[in-house]
Amino acid sequence: MTKEWFHKVYFIGIGGIGMSALARYYSFLGMDVGGYDKTQTPLTIELEVLGIMIHYQDDVSQIPSQFRIPEETLVVYTPAVPKNHTEYNYFTSHGFTVKKRSEVLGMITNNTFCFAIAGTHGKTTTSSILAHLLKETGTSVTAFLGGISEDFNSNFLWEGNEFSVVEADEFDRSFLQLTPNVACITSMDADHLDIYGDNEKLQESFRAFAAKLKPNGKLFVRNGLPLQGITYGIEDDSDFCIRNIRIEHGTYIFDLGTPDTTLKGVKFNKPGRHNLLNGLVAFAMAIQAGPPLDRLAEALETFKGVQRRFSYKIKEEHLIFIDDYAHHPAEIDAIFEAIQEMHPNKRVLTVFQPHLYSRTRDFIEEFARSLSRFDSIILLEIYPAREEPMPGVNSQWLLDMITNPHKKLVTKSELLAEIKAQKPQVLVTLGAGDIGLEINKLKKALEYEN
């Protein structure tokens, strides 16, 4: 995928977090970049500031003329785009080169030393930590992230092109387009059953991804997963292991064991054992690029985080407000446990917006069990994303399944008043839908109130 081959790149679904990172990449290379998305968001506005042309109606007549030359234009689309999309069908029927985002990522990274992070949870945080470690140790690296890094305020990093960092997304088997030099698998919990049908087929896809490694490639796997590789874990017999954990002023301090040595007094500032594991495997992968271990440890301590990944919005004595992208029961459990560890004996209210009808249906019992652990629960209606409604699948069904009696279903317009009425000590907002657009409004109102 070279600048000489295509001069222009057009994105269908340019506002997606992964698509916008690719758009930034091609814009950085100096190509003409444009695209369509169905709604304007803070991400698309940032792209427009870069000079990228975006429109918000599925209308062929709105495609700028410079993107209508098949020999010069690469068209990139996200699998979330429906097959009856007018612009998609225009490009596929008029001789354009049309590729999925994952195919393009594979082509870009194939000639680099590629680090790929796979797993049903933890991809974005792990890849962001890895990108931060490599950047801070002076490594020539390009990174495509599935979230906005708080360290460089973007989902795209360019510090050279010798190494690349990408998220290996299991959705739609996209990660099978990659051929990494070093990969990790953080988790293999059942998810995307609308695509896979059952968990065994999902696990088969992870095994297929592991087989995509380049010759002499290395695979890191969380200890306990049913795969062969270099293991990592906490207080166990893993090849890379964190031991002797203590917490001081909200910071983890621990010993980090590698196959060759042990580093004492390593520090990490993101709460939750799941984040410790993400930091550990990012550290283990970064070693493969050759920086000194002491510099990697220093960089690990300075990692700030990723927007909407256990992000503190308010951290005061009267109120702690945490926001997270969690949209799977295992992720909700990890958030609950992190809050219990960092903020014990405080009354916790969680606000959850389910993401996808199919995921809600497939994990209704697990969602109910995970949410029931909080002191109080507020539900928003399901965010449909790419899906059409399913009969009987709604937030009221989930609410009825939650065993904790302190529960309520509200609209977004009622949300702030309900939060104020409950006066929580810890407020946590969870979900992968448009709940993220409510966070700053809630933060401002709650700060003003207090």
289-346 pLDDT, tens digit each = 999 999 999 999 999 999 988 999 999 988 999 999 999 999 999 999 999 999 999 9
For the segment 86-100, the average pLDDT, to the nearest whole number, is 96
pLDDT category at 1 given cuts 50, 70, 90 is very low
Give the pLDDT of residue 418: 97
CA end-to-end span of the chain, whole Å? 53
pLDDT category at 201 given cuts 50, 70, 90 is confident
What SS3 state is found at 370? helix
DSSP strand pairing (320-324 vs 311-315): antiparallel
Residues of the chain with CATH 3.40.50.720: 8-100
How far, in whole angstroms, is CA 269 from its chain's centroid?
19
Residues of the chain with CATH 3.40.1190.10: 110-302
Give the pLDDT of residue 3: 43
Least confident of 128-132, 197-201, 223-227: 197-201
Give percent of the chain above pLDDT 70. 96
Distance CA 331, CA 324 (A): 9
- CATH node for 110-302: 3.40.1190.10
Locate tokens 């007018």: which residue? 86
pLDDT category at 2 given cuts 50, 70, 90 is very low
Instruction: State the virtual CA torsion across 278, 281, 284, 286 in degrees, nearest 10.
Output: -60
Least confident of 134-138, 185-189, 419-423: 185-189
- Taking domain 311-449, whether its CATH number is 2.40.50.140 is answered by no
Give the pLDDT of residue 199: 65
pLDDT category at 369 given cuts 50, 70, 90 is very high
Secondary structure, 3-state, 100-129? EHHHHHHHHHCCCEEEEEECCCCHHHHHHH
For the segment 23-46, the average pLDDT, to the nearest whole number, is 95
Give the pLDDT of residue 395: 97
Distance CA 102, CA 114 (A): 14
pLDDT category at 173 given cuts 50, 70, 90 is confident
Give me the CATH topology for the region 8-100: Rossmann fold (3.40.50)
Residues of the chain with CATH 3.90.190.20: 311-449
Closest CA to 275 of 293, 255, 248, 300: 300
